[in-house]
Amino acid sequence: MIRKYFGTDGIRGRVGEYPITPDFVMQLGYAAGRVLAHAEHHELKEQRPTVLIGKDTRISGYMLESALQAGLCAAGVDVRLTGPMPTPAIAYLTRALRAQAGIVISASHNPYDDNGIKFFSSLGTKLPDDIEKEIEAELNAPMKVMVSANLGKVKRINDAAGRYIEFCKSTFPNDLDLRGLKIVLDCAHGATYHVAPPVFHELGAEIITIGGQPSGLNINHEAGSTHPHGLVKAVMHHQADLGIAFDGDGDRLLMVDHEGEILDGDQLLYIIAMHRQKQGQLVTGVVGTLMTNLALEHAFEKANIPFCRAKVGDRYVHELLIEKNWVLGGENSGHILCLDKHSSGDGIISALQVLHAIRESRSRLSDFRMELNLYPQVLINLKVKEKIDLDNNEAIQGAVREAEAELNGQGRVLLRPSGTEPKIRVMVEGVDSNLVKNLAEKIAEVVRIEAK
């Protein structure tokens, strides 16, 4: 069965347009509840399963949260509400509270008028494909409300933020602190606004927060990891040691050093892996994606650290890590997984791993940045109305072959459809920045013509 609704990161779309509507989301809650209520999906067969629901700061979260809990309760599932919390917090709390599943209402880095639904298993990992398919199959069945005595109940978890804050702090060494560091945090007016500042402050840092006043309409707006210019200005203005930007739901980050230079996910992953190796830890391997900069692959090769690429999407990085029994992986977008610290990608915890390296080595973030010179990489996002068969389009493939010939083994070309938006991503990477830019624009123009 091909999944109709679930993409690489749950179900996502524009609020008010199918499927991000109250009626569909209620039906989704009911279908998920029906699947979770099956005996084989939870051990406590004589009790009702419990599902945790969290959300980011979008105004539509109130509506979708109500619809979800109505559907789940109708299926006989108990619900626990956390209010606004980062996506990785729901992954942690689902596991810690022994819930059968966790649900996050978020569209991550998208604008406020988008939203989405994503699920976590009882282990705090993305829901397996086969369970998502079961939920989709249940969507075709009519809602049959349980008898009143068997309806689910809803309770709010009042200490969810405090539990998560302590969990994040526990991933930082007890014998280190952040005293003497001035850090600017950009919370993207999103779900980290009330949890990230206490984490870093309680570890000793002086904290300046921007993007920490969510209105329901300003999430990710000119803020956060997708719009780092505000963080750069704030770091320079306050003469801070570094800055950290999260996205709207807190599962990705980027950092800015004291000189105002931005470090992306590839550079941060490099810092974490190399620090561990220098401390004598065995780094069994690192997983990147098709978008990972070629310079990172070459750097790990030089350091004798095995490296391999997964499809784009943190769920695919996670799957490959589990397959290889490795713990470190990530994307250049800032999704970083440290599976020895958390079951999910977590912006706050990833930042703490970088700060661990900085404090233990007594270095500055800029020192690490200069260790890895990324190759020029141009990414062009093209909006399309309909899907294009990239692999079998001769004009597009011809343009790719020409570009690869010009790169002559000193770079890469990658074309792929976005997993979350109606876009084609054209990426060209290589040693010569001018050549890379020209080739990317040539390929993009061919894609534009073929997409008409």
Which positions are catalytic? Answer: 108
CA angle 387, 110, 167 (to 5 degrees): 125
- Helices and strands, number each (H, E), in the chain: 14, 18
> With 0-12 CB in 10 A as exposed, 13-18 as middle and 19+ as buried, what is 335?
buried
How far is it, in rounded angstroms, from Cα 248 to Cα 112? 9
How far is it, in rounded angstroms, from Cα 421 to Cα 49? 33
| Both structure tokens of 37 | 């209520």
- Axis crossing angle, helix 265-278 with helix 294-302, rounded to the nearest 10: 10
> With 0-12 CB in 10 A as exposed, 13-18 as middle and 19+ as buried, what is 369?
buried
Is residue 422 classed as helix, strand or coil in its secondary structure? coil
| Both structure tokens of 203 | 């570890």
User: Quick count: other Cβ atoms within 10 Å of Cβ 272?
Assistant: 21
Residue with tokens 């700061």: 57
| Both structure tokens of 422 | 């109606």
Contacts of 134 (CB under 8 A, 6+ apart): 35
Residue with tokens 């390929």: 443
How far is it, in rounded angstroms, from Cα 10 to Cα 14? 14
DSSP string, 93-131: HHHHTT-SEEEEE--TTS-TTEEEEEEEETTSSBPPHHH
Contacts of 89 (CB under 8 A, 6+ apart): 54, 82, 160, 161, 164, 191, 195, 250
- Report helix, strand and coil shares of the chain as percent, to nearest 5: 40, 20, 40
Torsion of CA 176, 178, 179, 181, to 10 degrees: 150
